[in-house]
């Protein structure tokens, strides 16, 4: 049997979450999947929160977020693409990103270069932080929807139940609206356009 390591434990946790959903990730179920006693995990991941932190770490590593000098708008696109990309490949494990804040130097590296990029563009510290948070919020929301699509669990409004004479435009969404990829891209580019307008107006320094 391969040696029990933190990496092996976390990879097992990711597989469990992707296969059975985030609620399946308990220390006992991880131990059972590995064929070991639960106490064997404690030296590597003493709590479920430690497992969740580790899952976040693995997902962000896989996302390959920008960690070198980059323009602020490129950072926004690359960051959101990276985060939402792992939502598609790990739809169950992605839930961990909503449960715990990112921890450690590896996870924080992309935020450091983002703050530097926004500062270079003229954003104040407060505005740079707000811009990074806005990108993070959008990445999480798109990511959750992408993970639902990947699981076939997307929630949709039953538009056909609405009276057509009262809701002609809402009902048209069912047949006329573009696909999810377009909607997600629209959100990203709209955020970038809004941030760019602040730079153009000189408001980041306000």
State pLDDT tens for residues 58-103.
999 999 999 999 999 999 999 999 999 999 999 999 999 988 777 7
- CA–centroid distance for 35 within its chain: 31
58 falls within a domain: no
171 falls within a domain: yes
72 falls within a domain: yes
Q: pTM for the complete prediction?
A: 0.86
pLDDT, tens digit (0-9, with 9 covering 90-100), for 113-151: 999 999 999 999 999 999 999 999 999 999 999 998 888
Segments forming the whole domain that contains residue 138 = 65-205
| CA dihedral sign of residues 170, 174, 178, 184 | positive
Q: Which long-range contacts (CB under 8 A, 24 or more apart) does 30-34 make?
A: 34/4, 34/8, 34/9
- CA–centroid distance for 159 within its chain: 29
Residues near 158 by beta carbon (within 8 Å), at least 6 away in sequence: none
48 falls within a domain: no
29 falls within a domain: no
Number of domains in the chain: 1
60 falls within a domain: no
Q: What is the CATH number of the domain that holds 174?
A: 1.10.357.10
Separation of alpha carbons 52 and 96, rounded Å: 6
Asked if 162 and 174 touch (Cβ cutoff 8 Å), the reply is: no
pLDDT, tens digit (0-9, with 9 covering 90-100), for 138-196: 999 999 999 988 888 776 777 788 898 999 888 887 655 558 888 999 999 999 999 99
95 falls within a domain: yes
125 falls within a domain: yes
């Amino acid at each position: 049997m391969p040696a029990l390591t933190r990496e092996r434990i976390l990879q097992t946790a990711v597989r469990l979450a992707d296969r059975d959903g985030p609620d399946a990730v308990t220390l006992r179920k991880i131990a059972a999947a590995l064929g070991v006693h639960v106490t064997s995990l404690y030296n590597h991941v003493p709590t479920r929160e430690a497992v969740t932190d580790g899952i976040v770490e693995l997902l962000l590593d896989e996302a390959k977020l920008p960690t070198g000098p980059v323009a602020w708008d490129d950072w926004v696109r690359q960051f959101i693409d990276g985060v939402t990309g792992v939502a598609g490949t790990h739809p169950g494990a992605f839930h961990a990103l909503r449960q715990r804040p990112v921890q450690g130097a590896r996870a924080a590296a992309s935020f450091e270069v983002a703050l530097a990029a926004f500062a270079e563009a003229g954003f104040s510290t407060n505005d740079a932080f707000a811009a990074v948070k806005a990108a993070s919020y959008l990445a999480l929301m798109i990511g959750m929807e992408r993970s639902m699509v990947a699981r076939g669990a997307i929630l949709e409004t039953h538009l056909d139940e609405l009276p057509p004479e009262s809701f002609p435009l809402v009902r048209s969404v069912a047949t006329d609206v573009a696909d999810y990829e377009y909607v997600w891209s629209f959100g990203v580019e709209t955020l970038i356009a809004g941030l760019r307008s602040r730079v153009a107006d000189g408001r980041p320094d306000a």
